[in-house]
Amino acid sequence: MKTKKSTSLRNFVTAIVLAAALLAAGALWVLLGWRGALDVTLTDLAGDPAALRGFTMRGQSSLGSAHTYWELHDGYLDTAFALDPDGDEEQYRYSAPGVATRTIYALTPESRAAVDAAARRVQSYADSWRLESAASAFRVMAEIYINGGVLRVALRDAAANEPVAVTACAEAPSYLARTSCQYDYEADSPEQLQNMETDHDFIAGQLFSLGGGQGLVWKRTIGSRRAGLYRAAPVSYEALEALPADGKAGDRAVLCATTEVGTLEPFYCPEDARLVACGLPMADGLTLCVYINKVDKACADLVNAAGVRVDHLELAEFAGQADFSAVALPRGTDRDAVLHIYGDDYTGYLTALRVENGSFALHQSLPVGESVYLRNAEAAVLNTAGDALLIATPEYTTVGEGGTDNAYNIYQTGTLLLVCPLDGSGTRYRGRLNTGAERDWGAQQLGEDWRRVSLRRYMSYELYEKDRRRQL
């Protein structure tokens, strides 16, 4: 006997299928809507698009949790979109790691006992007390925060012509870390100390990979520590809390602010360096060191794994410049490096270097001059021929009265791409990466509360693997 299927069952199954289809269509509509609002497109503005051949640049545009990954190669732009991507995804989540620093004007070990004995207990708030005293002899300490760890090293000893007030917490609250201000005695007004102008300017650039560890650029010679590249090994906060106390602040046992924590070992310190500005890992196990020497010439050295120089270049002259900087722009290969080098201002040069067979194979510099686009370059890559740069730089639009002090009238409405020959012959191509930002500022003008809008729209670029730190 044949069994007749229930009509209601068929209708129920059909409804389920239709509902699933509608949900899928709705999700697709939402995704395509996001994609249409956030996609990255390239618009040719001037010059020959064929000038893009030989270049590869990658990055991502993000707005909140929406990410558009893009790759420009030989003039073709490929994009991929992800809405709230998986936290384990590593694609293009690049950031060159930096450091935070603090300068401590602490008591010298020899003066500590007398200063502590003379301290008086003062109530600062209803439930807190502090110790107040005075000192004339100080040890200047550099505290460096690196990747979730702490490095503390001595800079120099300093003396004051008149006693300087020092304070410390008399009763340390539970939340006060051992690196917090006034956990131990510190000078309240270090401006009275001698030769303090360089005490806050001892690190340049960002961290870089050095062998199996991390390198730190020590900018200038202070005390016995010479300017150069150093191997940095901080201690974790857990290890810091486990260190034994080695001093007293009143009745409190403390880890003295003059106690060095972690290690900072010299790797390469150029003999004639006045200021060291950049360290960067390169191909063939080499390290790039960029500095200005004592006759005001910017130089680049290639250094092997043993810390021995194997090649040297003079990049440019910066006569009469008190300061010197070299910023390594994002790159896609460790054989190339493009640096923005400059003195007291931000003009200087975009300098391109290429390494082959363990030495410099290419060195060209493009003057920045008065060009705001070159000065503000966020990324720059060499082409395969090594004769031109592809430069990504923000494009801004001013709404309302131009030239005013109203910063909210200025919006980044895209990213310009410039192909600039290294011989200075003029821009071959000019295009714009559109990310949707050009619509944002216009939409803001339509509403009364536009100043409250927080767009959080970002553009970032791929770094070579050894330069990056994963960002979730």
Give the torsion sign (CA, 56, 61, 67, 68). negative
Residue 81 has pLDDT above 70, yes or no: yes
Query: Rounded distance, CA 336 to CA 333, Å?
Result: 6
- Return the pLDDT at 181: 82
At 24-50, the pLDDT tens digits run 444 444 444 445 556 889 999 999 999
Q: How far apart are CA 240 and CA 406, in angstroms?
A: 46
Tokens 């008190």 correspond to what residue?
Answer: 322
Residue with the bigger pLDDT between 62 and 46: it is 46
Q: Which of 236, 326, 334 has the alpha carbon at shortest distance from 278?
A: 326
pLDDT above 70 covers what percent of the chain? 79
- For residue 116, pLDDT over 60 is answered with yes
Q: According to the model, what pLDDT value does residue 29 have? A: 40
Triad 294, 295, 296: Cα angle to 5°: 90
Burial string for 135-144 (b: 16+ CB within 10 Å, else e) reads: bbbbbbbbbb
Per residue in 340-397, pLDDT tens?
999 998 889 999 999 999 999 999 999 999 898 999 999 999 999 999 999 999 987 6
pLDDT value at 186 more than 80: yes
Per-residue pLDDT for 19 more than 60?
Answer: no
Q: How far apart are the first and last CA of the chain?
A: 63
Residue 232 has pLDDT above 50, yes or no: yes
Q: Tell me how long the chain is.
A: 472
Place of tokens 């071959």: 428
Could you report the per-residue pLDDT of 83-100, keeping only the tens digit for each? 766 554 444 455 667 789
- pLDDT above 90 (res 259): yes
| Confidence band for 405, pLDDT divided at 50, 70 and 90 | low
Residue 469, pLDDT score: 52
Rounded distance between C-alpha atoms, residue 287 and residue 144, angstroms? 22
Q: Residue 253 above 80 pLDDT?
A: yes
> Could you tell me if 111 and 135 are in contact, meaning their C-beta atoms sit under 8 angstroms apart?
yes
Amino acid at position 244, single letter: P
CA distance 257 to 249: 11
> What secondary structure letter does DSSP report for 441?
H
Q: State the Cα–Cα distance between residues 282 and 314, nearest whole angstrom.
A: 18
Kindly report the average pLDDT of the chain as a whole number: 84
Residue 330's pLDDT is: 92
**What pLDDT is stored for residue 367 in this prediction?**
95
Identify the pLDDT of residue 94. Answer: 54
pLDDT at residue 20, as a whole number: 54
